[in-house]
Structure 1
């Protein structure tokens, strides 16, 4: 049986009630005799704590206050118990390393024999306690010691009893006795008093103890002695010293590491487990210029660029919460040279698996980051100017791509072609892009005129880039009224760069880049970047001018080929042509509708592969040939399409073309549409009182593949109120349509607009389409009326 099991049994079978409470009132012990005397079950006392003792409220408060003040309490107290007996209540505070414990006894007044037995058993408890216990009288002579004292300090009981601490242990005993005299003098307990040395007049081993002493009082509350609790902490202190030695060694290792790192551009620091700074970091403060107090805690974040500050704080919080093995983040830091890019890298130091600190470095990576940013700006600007085909739109796209990543302000000046006298430059300010947070310019003048000394004028005159040094002279910033100069001073311009945009050997525009505020001044590397940007802008402008010339030709061809639909009895005809979103805005899609000599209405929709002048020219040839064949022969649609395919193929006019051609004719009192299909999307029929449907079937091969194959016709009756829709694939096709829903969605779009007037229905289709291929769109709509 273990000693603590034996003690538990002894306490449980004592003939007196025994209880113990922690200093905050929690019940630690309430034996079975205490239950019997009071009638209060152990579970209730454990639940209610010290306030659950069976005492009237004023008495309970008085006892609690005395005990919490460190003074014992004893006396006869009528307890509110079922038996009505008067109980004798005694309690004393007992020192403990984890906080004082209130130990007490409940006993019936007339049961003194039980009390004697109880205290005999408590004597056994005294002897088996796992800490050293000693009692001294008012002269501080040993009166009683337990076995644990002998185990801790050595010697025998006889060597102590009746003798003073000084007599037994010499100087160390005198030090302990001085503390006990203070307890006798003021009646206050002493807790956790450290003492170290050699006992037995220096003959014992070197030891360290923690002492807890308290006054012992008689029933009339007079102090009759001192109790002492002794805890041996020699092994613990030795361990602590070893840890301190390891810490000192770690500090030396860190100093060596710091000396090694300081040979590079990195600053070394130590942070607390939560990421905050408690220890100074002189190397990092030398970079940021902060003082010690401003750096500590989370103050080091004050030197971080405000736009990056929250990201750095969040990175630390995530690392601490996730137990990361390394923390890395890159951000701009305020230095004596302005804001520069630094990279933080930190690793945790763990003891027994617990992070006790972080060791890290901050390294200047400004050159590396800026080089990557310049490449990214160049790539983004190249992509932006290549996505549009208007010269001014290209320059606008370039300005938008460099703000705010490269510059705080970018302006594009379109230069007048005619030179002015004296080297001045005039023109139109095309676009201005300003970073968020930078105060906009007070001037909204569209025209500009710069004198010969202005950087823009020098750039245009020399056809070379200009880097304005720091600080920028006010007269070189902007022209105009005094408010312009005040504005330039307010935003704090740090540098300017100007580069020319050249087309066919002439400067057509100037690009002005401005840095201000916290952004570092432009360098020669930045100058090389804007020269490259201007060169790419020049190539884009020349390409755009060529594109515009080609587009003008294409649009003229389009206007000639796509004539207005005719007016035909009993039929309303509407057409829409929407060119592709990009490229030349005209391609191979076309529609046609014309009256035939026999009174029928010929209609057709075709699509020549490609989006260029060649496709547009092929479209024009096929359209003319189709008109001629249909008008002169009067053949069925299938025969017209077959003859067109054979002639165009032999003349090498077509390569890959889809076509739907038909005739709208009257038969008695019926209107019939007869058509042939050469690989084209099927027509959509909208009945006057039904849902739209695709007229599938009868689809032959495209033109230009097998010109000698026979063609077939299909026929459908069109009642009054019916609508027929012919179109090209640009109206409904999608790049990604795995479920083949494009045709279904087209019918749904038609259903939602079928009640609209025919012109509005056409607009509804081209505006509401879900197509995303960027192809041309053609819609030819016919609605039947009563003749």
Structure 2
């Protein structure tokens, strides 16, 4: 409908009111008409109901005089004066409590014609506005959209021209309610598309619509699933092609078919693409047409976005890869949906993560353009990154054992994934600090991203005043978020050199998290963000609080473990002393605990001189592999030394006395022990007794095969102190080697053929000619045991040059 002449000429409000058709007044849509100066000429009843602004308040006033801010009003008027339509959301002001969706276009003469809708009413249809409006009313084919209940939600004028009826007779009603039996056939296909998400293409349909009251017609229908932002199917888009007019010439049919195919495929592409910013690109991926939605994100001008200029807004780290991917997609056969994620510079200058999704549009068997969207996924991406950082930090810290090792592992895991610099400050206990609120200590660990200039401060010690973020963190035990302005002016202002360094590298935010052990803050974790890294937020504050909590638990465990290890190392130093070096005998010992991190277990070896000149040797195995087993081993070792030194009795007598004393004092319930004496005279004799322990191995010096020495194996210690014990004796000739060991050297979990002993003898044979230190190392390296038990080895060798003792 053409507006009256005086409306086009910009008549005064009173004149216009007399010329506004009753139809405009009765429309359920809010209609507004502006003159060239932005004054309101038309304001219908629907506009009054929607905004609450009466016509008498609005007519004759300018847009800039309304509750819109002047910048927004000026931008709208400038766009429309330039001949470009405007679509967007407009705030009505805080007193109104909501916004409007405003769509306007230049009208006749200098007028501007537009409609207003409530954002709440249009929020669920944003995707439809973005994707369908460009084609909806001008498409040469019928287009309609039905929801999951199979009710019409939108139809275009081509549908009404084909089938008759009005939009009101369809909207809100089911297909079957409108069309009867033919509608039931359509509904069956719609339900199938909703069920499996698969399009149905070129589906023939014949019959009479409007419950059989319409003319007989033939159609070709194309059904496509419509998906929401979470990829769930929210409805079905339908394309209808009327093929009733068969009398058209072949040439006309070919031309119309080509046009319909292009419209059909473009509609399919628009349905599949979902985002706030929709754009089109050429077949090679370059930009020729304006994309206002994308420009609104990046702040680029239309000229800046032309060709490959849109890539200038992509982060430099992702720019070349994106261009290469575009070129590959443009030459792929067949062309597929193009999806990439990258960081995009927004109009504010900061970078955010976006996902681009483009669908190829085919015509004549080739790709003629791409239709795509740009979706902001920064919040979801950063949330995922935080979870990744937390998982990596946890894994790294679990692998460390020392307190500072835990914190170093944390720093390694967060740089550069989460921070450009991470520093760990170890705090002095409160009594050692200088003044009230001050914090002192030393910088323990620093990890910086590659290429970051070093901080000018090299002093390991630090003192922070009470208002410093690290001091506040230590005082409150809570994490701290610091937003660093371009010209920092906090009371805790850093030295000039530090400020210049921070400005030079572009520091924009910092996080501080406490590390607590036994109720006190023992360390502070500092995280620095700079450059184009997104500034830290409250969500990041929650992450570092969790990192500090995990570090706190790890440090407490590590401190406790460190104390346990120090006790174990002290036990080891006391109980696994270096064997003596008596004349005419070489002695070597090796010990490998099952709990390697404790450095000590329940097995032990010992060698010491007796008052008469003999050499006492022993190898024992206490049940268990922990600190308690080590303590028991220490007690038995000390008791054995005392009983052996105070008695000239045989090995069996010493073991019998040790068994009675240990049982009487409740020292052990189960311990194996082999104790013996090496005597030097005219002959070198080794006499021993075994309390449930593996027999020694003798390696003859004349090249014969090694063998286990025979003899009774008596009951273990701690079971029956009254049992009889036996002695055994063997002569050691020059060149021979005697090996005492615990069962951790050879035992196997699965040994049905009892072959472990044979494998041990073979291992001894293969190393028999090695020097004694290398021989002992050979036994440990070549062991085939798989029980994870402690291993103790004590080897004695009589040199070939040794004769009888004088």
What residue in structure 1 maps to residue 205 of structure 2? none
Query: What secondary structure, in the 3-state scheme, does the structure 1 residue paired with 2:564 have?
Result: helix
Deviations 1:336-364 (A, max 9, x none): 46333334556666789987776654433
Aligned counterpart for 1:400 among listed residues 384, 399, 412: 412
User: Contact conserved, 1:271 with 1:279, CA < 8 A, in 2?
Assistant: yes
User: Contact conserved, 1:753 with 1:764, CA < 8 A, in 2?
Assistant: no
Instruction: Report how far residue 512 of structure 1 moved.
Output: 0.8
Query: What secondary structure, in the 3-state scheme, does the structure 1 residue paired with 2:580 have?
Result: coil
What residue in structure 2 maps to residue 372 of structure 1? 384
Deviations 1:87-116 (A, max 9, x none): xxxxxxxxxxxxxxxxxxxxxxxxxxxxxx
Instruction: Report how far residue 571 of structure 1 moved.
Output: 0.9
User: Contact conserved, 2:601 with 2:624, CA < 8 A, in 1?
Assistant: yes
Deviations 1:29-52 (A, max 9, x none): xxxxxxxxxxxxxxxxxxxxxxxx
Q: 1:645 to 1:480 in 2, by over 3 A?
A: same
What residue in structure 1 maps to residue 607 of structure 2? 593
Aligned counterpart for 2:264 among listed residues 245, 249, 260: 249
Do residues 434 (structure 1) and 448 (structure 2) align? yes
Aligned counterpart for 2:346 among listed residues 323, 335, 354: 335
Do residues 566 (structure 1) and 580 (structure 2) align? yes
Query: What secondary structure, in the 3-state scheme, does the structure 1 residue paired with 2:418 have?
Result: coil
Give ranges in structure 2 of 5+ residues lacking alignment: 1-248
Query: Structure 2 CA distance, aligned partners of 1:699 and 1:289?
Result: 93
Do residues 420 (structure 1) and 434 (structure 2) align? yes
What residue in structure 2 maps to residue 525 of structure 1? 539
Query: Structure 1 CA distance, aligned partners of 2:577 and 2:346?
Result: 69
Deviations 1:532-579 (A, max 9, x none): 222332333333333333333333333332333233342122334466
Deviations 1:386-423 (A, max 9, x none): 44343322222222222222211111112222222364
Query: What are the equivalent positions in structure 2 for 1:643-722 lying under 5 Å apart?
Result: 648=662, 652-655=666-669, 657-665=671-679, 668-672=682-686, 676=690, 678=692, 695=708, 703=716, 718-722=732-736
Do residues 459 (structure 1) and 469 (structure 2) align? no
Deviations 1:315-354 (A, max 9, x none): 7799887969766554444334633333455666678998
Q: 1:576 to 1:250 in 2, by over 3 A?
A: same
Q: 1:570 to 1:340 in 2, by over 3 A?
A: same
User: Contact conserved, 1:294 with 1:300, CA < 8 A, in 2?
Assistant: yes
Q: 1:298 to 1:471 in 2, by over 3 A?
A: same
Structure showing greater radius of gyration is 1
Query: Structure 2 CA distance, aligned partners of 1:325 and 1:737?
Result: 59
What residue in structure 2 maps to residue 113 of structure 1? none
Q: 1:251 to 1:344 in 2, by over 3 A?
A: closer
Query: What are the equivalent positions in structure 2 for 1:71-470 lying under 5 Å apart?
Result: 239=254, 241-255=256-270, 261-262=274-275, 267-268=277-278, 282-289=292-299, 303-307=313-317, 330-336=341-347, 338-344=350-356, 361-417=373-429, 418-421=432-435, 423-470=437-484
What residue in structure 1 maps to residue 558 of structure 2? 544
Q: Is the deviation greater in 338-347 or in 689-698?
A: 689-698
Deviations 1:498-521 (A, max 9, x none): 122233443322211111122111
Query: Structure 2 CA distance, aligned partners of 1:291 and 1:684?
Result: 89
Instruction: Report how far residue 591 of structure 1 moved.
Output: 1.2
Query: What secondary structure, in the 3-state scheme, does the structure 2 residue paired with 1:421 have?
Result: coil
Give ranges in structure 1 of 5+ residues lacking alignment: 1-233
Deviations 1:350-381 (A, max 9, x none): 78998777665443332223223323333433
Query: Structure 2 CA distance, aligned partners of 1:274 and 1:638?
Result: 94
Aligned residues: 547
Q: 1:655 to 1:491 in 2, by over 3 A?
A: farther
TM-score by length of 2: 0.56
TM-score by length of 1: 0.57
Instruction: Report how far residue 434 of structure 1 moved.
Output: 0.8
Q: Is the deviation greater in 398-407 or in 374-383?
A: 374-383
